[in-house]
Amino acid sequence: MARIAGVNIPTQKRVEIGLRYIHGIGPLTAKKIITQLGIDPTRRVSDLTESEVIQIREVIDRDFLVEGDLRRDVAMNIKRLMDLGCYRGLRHRKGLPVRGQRTHTNARTRKGPAKAIAGKKKVTK
């Protein structure tokens, strides 16, 4: 099992797909890395030689911000917005959608499961 940037890459996947398991590397970045190193995109991770794995590791370390560093950077950006007290920071603090989505309906991913309204009982005469 190849270990790149602290992540175990699945051996039975194609190299292009396996690189996406690293946080911060998506389809375009994976394709860019493979073409830069001249690796066939149809090859499996298990077919890579040790030198090719080392080359991939070096390219990722040199050119891209991935895993822990990227997560820390994103968390610091969110914390900065919250400390400033700007609109986006307030939305992050309240756990609501940040990018202008509606909240009257939908937004259940950010808001969590629906809560029942307590205290409202029908009065019958």
Q: Which tens digits make up the pLDDT trace of 90-101?
A: 999 999 999 989
Average pLDDT over residues 68-87: 94
pTM of the model: 0.76
Helix (H) or strand (E) holding 29: helix 27-37
| Residue 108, both tokens | 């259940």
Work out the mean pLDDT of the chain and round it to a whole number. Answer: 90
pLDDT for 120 equals 64
* pLDDT over threshold 90, residue 119: no
Average pLDDT over residues 52-81: 93
Tell me, what DSSP letter sits at residue 44?
Answer: B
